[in-house]
Every structure is written in structure tokens, then in C-alpha cells.
Amino acid sequence: AEVSVLTAQPGLFAMTLKYEDPPKICCLGAGYVGGPTMTVMAKKCPEIKVTVCDLNERRIAAWNSSALPIYEPGLQEVVEEARGRNLFFSTDIESAIRECTIIFVSVPTPTKKSGIGAGEAADLTYWELAARQIAAVCNASENKMPKIIVEKSTVPVKTADAMAAVMAAACKGTDFQVLSNPEFLAEGTAIDDLFKPDRVLVGGPQTPQGLAAIECLANVYRKWVPTERVLTTNLWSAELSKLTANAFLAQRISSINSISALCEVTGADVSEVGHAIGVDSRIGPKFLKASVGFGGSCFQKDILNLVYLCRSFGLPEVAEYWHQVIVMNDWQKRRFANAMVATMFNTVSGKRIAILGFAFKKDTGDTRESPAIDVCKALSEERAKLAIYDPKVSREQYYEDLGKEAMEKIEIDEDPYVACAGAHAIAVITEWDVFKTLDYQKIFNSMSKPAFIFDGRNILDHRKLSEIGFTVWAVGKCMKKVLDTEGSPSP
């Protein structure tokens, strides 16, 4: 079956083009977004061939093995069900582009490190290279079937226009439409998010050709997502919605973290404050848990991108408003490390500190922008001896995040009890469930005294820890008041 659409080529509007139905789909980029998204798409649409491509041979080999390159609950089972049936992982990017109607582009768009916009603007190098490769393959192909190019990476507003300009100049004889289909996944729950999304957003040109392309992609999602949750917009609304969503979520975290500092000095409890405001239906309870700070690949990058856009369009007040979310997050991470030093008699030099958790959140091995990186670097500068345990972070990732020189002085353990043995203090940085059920009496017995514990996620039983003998510090809590309220520790 084929779906007819008007051609986008000037002077040829009487002709029609044919989109395959069902379309073949490929994705350029086999990372945290491309891999899981295409995997679920293949599971839910068994009649559609889905190919995930990447230049990295080791990554593709991992996707084709039992040891996937990323950890995500439920991902392994879905991959094994669809792989080899209608889901394929390949380094043959040209063949995938050539045979597919819908081409997702899910390549890195990191924050620029140099040049104009350094530290804020998105680096679109890989994105432009992808556009040029698509154009080159189309030019060399005898089959001039129309293409739908879908930006899946988080990109600045107007990026689709830039890609369309590159394609228009470099691609001859192939009709194409550029759409925006931002992802709204949360690592740790990505598979559930993909199975039952709050919404799927498809943005494109508001022309007959653009609307037809939007409908083609939207119909793929409608195979498992209710129609009312598949939203269609213009290109710029889709691009800006992604940045805005992440900015609003990060803003909530920085807001409650700012209140956590006030709670500590006034005797209020940030967990109680967060609950009290969260039951207000106008506010809601999500993203109101105080912590050592937010991390991940998207929040900081997207806010900085938003800040740069605002400044570029002559909106400095708006830029400064959103930049303060990042300022507060950086301050919270520094504040946590400073509190550790201050509580431990203003020095951690030579003291062993166990770091429990290095991923930016539980149920993922992703460490990008993790608060643990900043805390570890701050403590290392104070000459603390660090022992780190995380159930999913690889040894190679520690080296990448902390540097080879620092790693020569850091111990990486595969057992939390080993990391804590002989330590002067424990810092809980990631909210892994396993940390809630550790035998803290056993840990206390193995530690140097006085034994300190710093709960950066408020996941532990602070009263029980105090009864064991720990000196406890927790984000957003005046610990003396907490213990006085809940009852004095047992002698």
C-alpha cells in the first residue's frame, strides 16, 4: 500500500509522491534515545522494519549481544523479542538511509565548548553531518523515493529550518520533509514512558506536503498510542516544547532545593514542605523532592540552550531568569560538599569517604552531569580518600568523568560494604533502592569513629541511623529538631 502526497518541488504540484505504507524506518544514532525508542517502535509495529545505525562498531556489537550498551529496566527483554524479526542494529548507514522512508536523527547535540555561544549553545556538528550524509546517499541512489527526516535529538528552535536548507542545497531529485519529534523520556523509566507516553509530539511545516509527512509519522505512533495523545504542531512549537518541558522540570527541583537550605536553618522539614505544597492540585507532587542536585544529559544542556536562544533574540531578562535554575543547582552541589567538610570538623584531608551512587539517578548507568562528579571533585580537592560504589556504572565511565590522574587516588568497589569499611563518612548521592536496605549496623561497626552519614537523597531512616550511632546530615532537615521530635536516640 502507498500513501499519496503532493510533491514539494516547485512547478510540479500536479504530480503525486508515494510514501510506503507501512514505511521502513531507520535511526541514525544508537544511544540512550535512539536505541530504546526504536526498540519499542519495533515491538509495537511488527509489520514495520526498523534499523538502528551507528558508526561505533563496538556499540552496535553490544546492541546485537546479551550485554546491551546501556542499562534501562525492561529494555533487554524488548530487544530480545524484536531483534532479528523486524529490529536490526547495523553500521551500514548508507543502506539504511537508502531503503527507508522515515529517517530519525538521534545524534549527540552537546553544549559547545568553544567559539560563539560556548558554554550555552548546542553544538550541531553531528546533526549537520547527518543531514549531509542523507543528502549524499539520496543523490547517489537511483530510487528517488520521498524521505521524512525526523529530528529526535534535542535541538534549538529553528534547527529544522537549518537542516531543510542544507538538504535543499545538497539533495537533488529527492523530495524530503523535515519534522520535529522530541523525546520526553526519563531514564530509569524510559521503556514504560515509551509504552504509555503522556504525549507524542510531531511538528512539521504547515504545508500540504508537511502535513502529509506529519500524518505519516503520527500514524506510526497511533498503532499503540491513543490518538488524543498524539499531538501535532508546527515545527517551532515542537522544538521549543522540548526545551521548555525540561526547563520547567528542572526549575521545580531547583525551587525545592532552594527551600531545603532555608529548612535547615529554620527547623522546617523539606519533605513535609514538599508534601504540603504537592497536594495542591495546582502544583502537584512530582519533582518536589530535595536532593544534592539534578543531573542527566538533558536538563542542564536544554536550559543553557534556552538561555542562549533568549539572549540571541534580545531577551536578556528571560535568559537570566532561566539561567538562575542552573546557578541554584550548582550551588546546591557545592553546598552539599561544603556541609560534609564543615560537619567533619572542617577537614576531610586523609579521611576515607564512601560515595554510594555515581549515576545521576537510580535505575540507569548514565553519569552525564551527575552531582556525584562535582561532589567527588570537591572532596578530592580537599584531599579526601574516596571509595565509590554504584551498581551500574562501569570502571571506564569513572575514568572518563573524573580523569585518570584523579582515579589513581580513588578506589572503585563492587561491594558497598567494602566501600564503607574503614570510612569516616558515607555520602549517599544516588537514590538506588539497595541503599535503603543495607545493614547499617554492620557498616557502622566497620567504620572509623565518629561515623558520619550524609543523605543527599533523603532515602534513609535518619532516626534509626542516629540510634545506631551515626552523626546524620540530610538535605533540607535540621537533624537536631528531627531527632528531638521523633524521640531521643537510645543510649
Residue positions annotated with a catalytic role:
298
Amino acid at 335: R
Torsions phi, psi for 109 (to 5 deg): -130, 70
H-type helices in 222-360, by residue range? 235-266, 270-278, 299-312, 316-343
Contacts by 210-213 with C-beta closer than 8 Å and gap 24+? Answer: 210/177, 210/179, 212/3, 212/5, 212/6, 212/19, 212/177, 213/5, 213/19, 213/148, 213/177, 213/179
24 SS3 class: coil
**Please, what sign has the CA dihedral across residues 436, 438, 440, 444?**
negative
Q: Are 310 and 299 in contact (CB under 8 A)?
A: no
Distance, in Å, from the CA atom of 420 to the CA atom of 242, rounded to the nearest integer, reads 40
Distance, in Å, from the CA atom of 16 to the CA atom of 247, rounded to the nearest integer, reads 42
Calculated CA dihedral for residues 235, 239, 242, 245, nearest 10 degrees: -80
Report which of 128, 124, 163, 154 is spatially closest to residue 34, judged by C-alpha positions.
Answer: 154
Q: Are 434 and 416 in contact (CB under 8 A)?
A: yes
Report which of 155, 100, 148 is spatially closest to residue 126, judged by C-alpha positions.
Answer: 155
Report which of 35, 31, 86, 25 is spatially closest to residue 219, judged by C-alpha positions.
Answer: 25
Other beta carbons within 10 angstroms of residue 399's beta carbon come to 14
Distance, in Å, from the CA atom of 351 to the CA atom of 454, rounded to the nearest integer, reads 15
Looking at residue 184, what DSSP letter applies?
A: -
- Between the CA of residue 220 and those of 162, 184, 231, 415, what are the distances in Å? 26, 17, 13, 45
Task: Name the pairing type of β-strands 385-389 and 352-356.
Answer: parallel
Q: Are 131 and 174 in contact (CB under 8 A)?
A: no
**Please, what sign has the CA dihedral across residues 233, 239, 242, 245?**
negative
- Between the CA of residue 174 and those of 91, 138, 263, what are the distances in Å? 24, 7, 61
444: burial class by Cβ within 10 Å (0-12, 13-18, 19+)?
A: middle
Residue with cell 550555552: 120
Task: Name the pairing type of β-strands 2-6 and 16-20.
Answer: antiparallel
